[in-house]
Chain A
Amino acid sequence: MSLDTATVRRIARLARIGIEENETEGLARELNGIFGWIEQLDEVDVSGVAPMIGTGLATPRMREDVVTDGDRRDDVLSNAPDRVDAFFTVPKVVE
């Protein structure tokens, strides 16, 4: 699977990371190098093998369906890069 500059632009867009047009070729080359190396996994026969999702060491726990935290409005807002009163701000999203 070769990763072209259009794919690089698509990934950057999905990841919401701004990239300059003159960076796409370098990034494509770098990512191709890494994924070329990763393709060694094609040698491994995984038929009938279940995927490992986490280490499976902790037993899922139930707890009472009650509020355990809250009333921390000022804490939650304390690191906001921009705020108005008790609100986070963003550029206008609805015309």
Chain B
Amino acid sequence: MAADTPNALDMSLVEARDGLVRKAFSSVELTTAALAAVEALNPRLNAYITVTGDQALAQAAQADAAIAAGEAGPMAGVPVGIKDLFCTKGVRTTAASNILRDFVPPYESTVTANLRRDGAVFLGKTNLDEFAMGSGNLTSAFGPVENPWKRAGSDAALVPGGSSGGSAAAVAAGLGFGATGTDTGGSIRQPASYCGITGIKPTYGRCSRFGTIAFASSLDQAGPMARTVADCAVMLGSMAGFDAQDSTSVDRPVPDYLAACGRSLKGLRIGIPREYHAPGMPAEIEAIWQQGIAWLRDAGCEIVDVSLPHTKYGLATYYIIAPAECSSNLARYDGVRFGARVAGGTLDELYENTRRAGFGDETRRRIMMGTYVLSAGYYDAYYLKAQKVRSLIQRDFTDVFADVDVLLTPTAPSAAFAQDEKPSDPVQMYLNDIFTVPASMAGVPAMSVPAGVDAQGLPLGLQLIGRFFDEETLFAVGSALERAAAFTHRPALRASDVARAGIAS
């Protein structure tokens, strides 16, 4: 398939990579096609904040030269998007915040450096909720992202989920073969579910946090988002690895995740946590969960009912710990050393004016929540208490993983909602992460795989949660789910249709 045919951008990342190595097409051709699709669709989707076309074509030419020389890395020539939370040297990195609107990092994050080492081509920086705080990509200072999926018979703009909403929308629409995400409480998995793609939050410590703009340091973890499980396996293999510049990076070899995708599931024990039957959860999500259980049983797994008794406290615990860490991390934005500044008569006025103007409503709210729970007189009642409940949540997982290999749950309690259906109550918005937060609290790896669509034609994901550093089993089970689901639905807005229309006109 030539790179300028309409369907080139529908290929999987693995197919694109293999085609490049076979020299069926060049990276310059593929990157040119991807950039044209971004130019056509991004004005509507707003998935990219910054498009780096010239740089992408230069990287593509380098990749083509490496392939010609027989020195292709595992991501050689593959165009991908980078969440605008990863610092990229010389390329504006905003965290979707006004306070970093003109920030140009003088250094490169380890995750993006690893992808570049392996030959990846960066199309640009993808949109997100401001500082990765949100579940709908509605808090970005650069405007909301439109989900390329549509409800049947409706053109209403749906949210792509958040916070990695630009990455999810870009990948779903074909504006890149994969994208980096970060996940603090569900920010890879929930948008993956809303956009019908796959995403994995690896074990805390698997990917370096160096150069990734911090939100909640004990929870933040980078991971890949792509259209297939195998694509995520290739991309995670590149992103992961020990880094001395991150004190929480774990020094252990990166396994061959792609090989793990083909493993047999015979004899695996799959836990079904009874606490994930959320009250008011749509029947369609319950049904797709039951379907997933049946698929894994058919694949030779043993299904086991299990209990994670502290599940219901995950979110409330998260909304103490994450804002506490956020208030500390975001203290650095003071209008003095980098970022936007709003003048003031005194130093305190300068700080207050800068931080009021530079942060959006949700970011200011979370900084204030965090400041409150860490303040004198409230620290023990809130922060220390939450750290103790977090111990119990982690213990739930270590207990249950003594008995089962993987947990299967829904990824989110709903399908994508419309931009104008955003709940006005922050707590209602926070409930979108009810199924994803517990794994983040524990630090265990978790993956979302598209499993089906609801009655309106919107994608629904299933979540797999694994043992510490056992991403391989997640890739094995995720691949089996993917095969069984045979998820071939595609969003209404896609790069290949734009390309086809361009050729027809």
Contact = CB atoms under 8 A, between A and B. Distances in A.
A79 B338 contact: yes
Contacts of B319: 34, 38
A46 B313 CA distance: 12
A90 B350 CA distance: 8
A19 B381 CA distance: 26
B250 A37 contact: no
Interface in B348-362: 348-353, 355-356, 359
| 6 closest A-B pairs by CB | A55-B443, A51-B387, A79-B338, A81-B341, A18-B352, A75-B106
Contacts of B388: 46, 49-52
B339 interface: yes
Nearest to A47: B388
Contact of B205 (A19, A27, A58): A58
B262 to A, nearest CB: 27
Interface of A: 1, 3, 7-8, 10-12, 14-19, 27, 30-31, 33-35, 37-38, 40-41, 44, 46, 49-55, 57-61, 63, 72, 75-76, 78-82, 88-91, 93
A65 B270 CA distance: 47
Contacts, number: 164
Contacts of B327: 15
B104 to A, nearest CB: 7
B386 interface: yes
Interface of B: 102-104, 106-107, 203-205, 218, 244, 247-251, 310, 312-313, 316-317, 319-320, 327, 331, 334-341, 343-353, 355-356, 359, 364-365, 367-369, 371-372, 375, 378, 381-382, 384-392, 394, 425-427, 442-443, 468
Given A55-B443, A78-B106, A90-B350, 10 more contacts: A18-B352, A35-B369, A38-B320, A41-B317, A44-B389, A50-B388, A51-B388, A51-B391, A79-B106, A93-B347
A60 B364 CA distance: 33
A34 B151 CA distance: 31
Given A44-B313, A57-B250, A34 B426 contact: yes
A38 B383 CA distance: 11
Nearest to B393: A52
Nearest to B424: A30
A14 B331 CA distance: 10
Contacts of A50: 388, 391
B364 A17 contact: yes
A41 B313 contact: yes
A12 B378 CA distance: 15
B276 to A, nearest CB: 18
Contact of A57 (B317, B348, B443): B443
A4 to B, nearest CB: 12
A88 to B, nearest CB: 5
Nearest to B248: A58
A27 B368 contact: yes
28 contacts: A14-B371, A14-B375, A15-B327, A15-B355, A16-B334, A16-B352, A17-B359, A17-B368, A18-B355, A31-B372, A33-B426, A35-B372, A37-B427, A41-B385, A44-B310, A49-B389, A50-B391, A52-B387, A55-B218, A57-B205, A58-B205, A58-B248, A61-B244, A78-B106, A79-B103, A80-B336, A81-B338, A91-B349
A14 to B, nearest CB: 5
Contact of B382 (A38, A59, A76, A79): A38
Nearest to A75: B106
A90 B372 CA distance: 27
Nearest to A8: B368
A18 B356 CA distance: 5
Given A16-B352, A37-B316, A49-B388, A31 B337 contact: no
Contacts of B389: 41, 44, 46, 49
B367 A17 contact: yes
